[in-house]
Amino acid sequence: MTNSLLSPSTLTFGLPDYANLSDADFREAIDQGMAEHLTELDAVAKDTEPATVANVLEAWERSGSLLTRAMNAFWVAKAADTNDERDAIEEDIAPRLAQHQDAILLNEQLYARLTQLKERADRGEVSLDAQDAHLLSESVKDFERGGIALDEGSKVRLRELNTELATLATRFDQLLVAGRNAAGVLVTDEAGLAGLGADDVAAAREAAQATGRDGWLLTITNTTGQPVLADLHHRATRERVFRASADRGLTAGEHDTRGMLLTMSRLRHERALLLGYRHHAAYAAENGCAGSTQAVNDILGRLGPAAFALARSRGEQLQAHLDEIEPGATLEPWDWAYVDGRLRQHEAELDQGALRPYLEFDNVLTHGVFAAATALYGITFHRREDLVGYTPQARVYEVREAGVDGNRGDHLGAVVIDPYTRSTKQGGAWMTSIVDQSHLLDDSPVVTNTCNFAAPAPGSPSLLTWDNVITLFHEFGHDLHGLFSDVRYPSRSGTAVPRDFVEFPSQVNEIWAFEPSLLANYAVHHETGEQMPAEWVEQLRAKSGQQTFRYAESLSAMILDQAWHQTPAEELPDGPEGVEAFEAAALERAGVGYAPVPPRYRSTYFHHIFGGGYSAGYYSYLWSEIMDADTVAWFEEQGGLSREAGERFRRTLLAPGGSIDAMESYRSFRGTDPDLAPLLKRIGAE
């Protein structure tokens, strides 16, 4: 059969023909796409006509269509449903893609075309609108940050560094998935599962059977803490689960990631010095809204100790309660979620486990996530059973604008939902783009929403935790950023914004999970149809108890990220055995060394910074939350869930994507710079 990736998709919405794509098709299209892209850019570079918007910016943005189409299709499928061949393709193409990027950013002729266009615009010979000017400015900056000014010897070394780092990141992530799968805890005595619901027990039995073993397999998610720790009565089982999670990659063997992350940290530091920066963190911060590591350190230094003071205070309460239920026991990380839940019950507060029968996935998605978007923006969602996603578990929904006078609204885009965990899926939750919105190319957006919720046992409902609900709303906030993109250039579409801005719209979208009018419809018992009790709703809105833990664990992970990327190479551990001590010292220096609340990710399974694109940028969740809290305060001032407020948020903040400066879009929306006070109030650190 013909490889359908080699030409624009003829399917609805431009979806790749996943039903008929082979892994060999991905490889062929990527190989051909890289070659075509360089040929197309060579034509841009060697054009002898005076530089214009059309023959530089627009020609550049039109180039590489095959590579973009192939890579978007491949990355989505590989991250969500990998196999040996896809792993091999990724390992092969990762260094080649780094070399491909260097071939562009170190091309002096291409850079000269950009600078010529800038000079002509400065002289008034070429007219640039706001989107043209921003794209040109960002493109020039990309070349300067990419090493265009280096001498030839330094460029050779830069290429070597980029290639090696790309290879290591790919191998790190592959080890991560394998290590997570291997870390599952097999329980052979059902008594060790006391506290888990019948559906969870059935799912654990099925997971064990899938691996050919008897008993019950408790699978591991990518975070340090595990959902089952909140429910397991059996303390020894809780400890086994926690240690299986927290010790991943820390011992010599096939899943040991320590040497790899040390090498990456050293190479990133070398590259930063080569490019003229003090360290990798300085290089990363310059390209974000924070602007400098000083700004990042200031906010972490202010909020880290404050959050851990609250955590220690709560820890004292938990220790006192643990003394009652486990006399003589010392509060440990595997106790926190469990004892916190029991204490809330004792205090007549909310038991997180009791929520699950009220949080059935389809109800949450349709009457919660989708309904919020309809109330705010008027858009509607239509399941397309006729369309095939990248796995059989994925669902495709068409998204339409608000209709007028009873007529169906215009097509806006599409979203692919893939909710359940599987051994072939990387950990965490994410949004990606299969098709980027662009007026230049006349493309409508197609985005994905990929999570790792526990798959229900056959015939059982899919019941979520409250954290799962927040995750679904969060990732859909990213989806909305992509769907509402209204830009000319595809490279500026949707979430193509600074790393410490990209999480902001998604975090704002979390607030609608607490909206009473939505909860009344989506938080209903899956058997009886009764609404979640009103007092539970109020306690959810208060977001007490476990929030203390969440802020503390996230802040300590952010501090670890900065420690790895601000420390000079010569001061990093000499070998793998020094990784744990380095972590402990970094947390202690920052005033956040508290054993019952470990980092959300330990270094050895910190995908964001060693396998993903967040190196020295994990702080962005906090930086984004400053804007998020300030925006939530604004929505409250506007009366909450309303079309008028939603339209303003959509048009001034989501629609511009990366076509203008991110903080400019924020000021356009809010009228001022973000205020830290709402976040301090939110976490109780005023």
pLDDT in tens, 410-421: 999 999 999 998
Provide the sign of the torsion angle of the four alpha carbons 289, 295, 296, 299, taken in this order.
Answer: negative
Instruction: Please check whether residues 56 and 155 belong to one and the same domain.
Output: yes
Residue 686 is a catalytic residue: no
pLDDT class of 542 with cuts at 50, 70, 90: low
Q: Does residue 624 sit within a domain?
A: no
Tokens of 447: 């985005």
Instruction: Please check whether residues 167 and 212 belong to one and the same domain.
Output: no
Do 597 and 556 meet the contact criterion of CB atoms below 8 Å apart?
yes
pLDDT class of 579 with cuts at 50, 70, 90: very high
Cα–Cα distance between 142 and 111 in angstroms, integer? 10
Which letter does DSSP use for residue 679 in this model?
H
Where does 247-332 have alpha helices with state H?
258-274, 280-286, 293-325
CB-hemisphere CA count at 13 Å for 448?
A: 26
Instruction: Please check whether residues 108 and 217 belong to one and the same domain.
Output: no
Q: What is the pLDDT of residue 350?
A: 64
Q: Is the pLDDT of residue 405 over 80?
A: no
Q: Provide the percentage of residues in the chain whose pLDDT is more than 70.
A: 98
In this prediction, residues 100-108 reach a mean pLDDT of 97
Q: Is the pLDDT of residue 217 over 90?
A: yes
Instruction: Please check whether residues 400 and 490 belong to one and the same domain.
Output: yes
Q: Does residue 271 sit within a domain?
A: yes
Instruction: Please check whether residues 451 and 391 belong to one and the same domain.
Output: yes
pLDDT in tens, 319-378: 999 999 999 999 999 999 999 888 877 765 566 778 899 999 999 999 999 999 999 999
pLDDT in tens, 149-195: 999 999 999 999 999 999 999 999 999 999 999 999 999 999 999 99
pLDDT in tens, 25-83: 999 999 999 999 999 999 999 999 999 999 999 999 999 999 999 999 999 999 999 99
Tokens of 345: 């019950």
- Between the CA of residue 504 and those of 85, 541, 615, 618, 639, what are the distances in Å? 36, 20, 18, 13, 20
Question: One-letter amino acid identity for 128?
Answer: L
Q: What is the pLDDT of residue 547?
A: 72
Which letter does DSSP use for residue 229 in this model?
G
Mean pLDDT of the chain: 93
Q: What is the pLDDT of residue 543?
A: 57
Instruction: Please check whether residues 72 and 140 belong to one and the same domain.
Output: yes
Q: Considering the candidates 90, 360, 475, 625, report the single residue annotated as catalytic.
A: 475
* Residue that the structure tokens 């960002």 belong to: 138
Instruction: Please check whether residues 279 and 227 belong to one and the same domain.
Output: no
Instruction: Please check whether residues 422 and 325 belong to one and the same domain.
Output: no
Q: Which of 585, 603, 618 is the last residue of a domain?
A: 618
Q: Does residue 108 sit within a domain?
A: yes
CATH number at residue 89: 1.10.1370.40
Q: Does residue 17 sit within a domain?
A: yes
Q: Which of 558, 591, 618 is the last residue of a domain?
A: 618
Q: What is the pLDDT of residue 163?
A: 97
Instruction: Please check whether residues 92 and 151 belong to one and the same domain.
Output: yes
pLDDT class of 252 with cuts at 50, 70, 90: confident
Number of domains in the chain: 4
In this prediction, residues 91-107 reach a mean pLDDT of 96
Q: Does residue 633 sit within a domain?
A: no
Tokens of 41: 């850019």
CB atoms within 10 A of CB 459: 7
pLDDT class of 545 with cuts at 50, 70, 90: very low
Q: Is the pLDDT of residue 22 over 90?
A: yes
Angle at 315 between CA 467 and CA 619, to 5 degrees: 50
Cα–Cα distance between 44 and 36 in angstroms, integer? 13
pLDDT in tens, 495-541: 999 988 999 999 999 999 999 899 999 999 999 999 999 888 877 77
* pTM assigned to the model: 0.88
Question: What is the torsion angle, in degrees rounded to the nearest 10, for the CA atoms of residue 595, residue 596, residue 597 and residue 598?
Answer: 50
Q: Is the pLDDT of residue 544 over 70?
A: no
Lowest mean pLDDT among 179-183, 460-464, 536-540, 597-601: 536-540
Q: Does residue 336 sit within a domain?
A: yes
Q: What is the pLDDT of residue 407?
A: 75
Instruction: Please check whether residues 164 and 93 belong to one and the same domain.
Output: yes
In this prediction, residues 190-216 reach a mean pLDDT of 93
Domain containing 205 equals 183-246
Angle at 406 between CA 402 and CA 407, to 5 degrees: 70
Q: Is the pLDDT of residue 567 over 70?
A: yes
In this prediction, residues 589-607 reach a mean pLDDT of 96
Provide the sign of the torsion angle of the four alpha carbons 217, 221, 225, 226, taken in this order.
Answer: negative
CB atoms within 10 A of CB 397: 19
Instruction: Please check whether residues 472 and 430 belong to one and the same domain.
Output: yes
Tokens of 32: 């051909």
CATH number at residue 289: 1.10.1370.10
CB atoms within 10 A of CB 371: 20
Q: What H or E segment, with its residue span, contains residue 187?
A: strand 185-187
Provide the sign of the torsion angle of the four alpha carbons 358, 359, 360, 362, taken in this order.
Answer: positive
pLDDT class of 408 with cuts at 50, 70, 90: confident
Do 3 and 29 meet the contact criterion of CB atoms below 8 Å apart?
yes
In this prediction, residues 587-599 reach a mean pLDDT of 96
CB atoms within 10 A of CB 280: 26
Instruction: Please check whether residues 107 and 87 belong to one and the same domain.
Output: yes
Q: Does residue 654 sit within a domain?
A: no
Cα–Cα distance between 66 and 44 in angstroms, integer? 17
CATH number at residue 371: 3.40.390.10
Q: Is the pLDDT of residue 686 over 70?
A: no
Q: Does residue 677 sit within a domain?
A: no
pLDDT class of 97 with cuts at 50, 70, 90: very high
SS3 567: coil
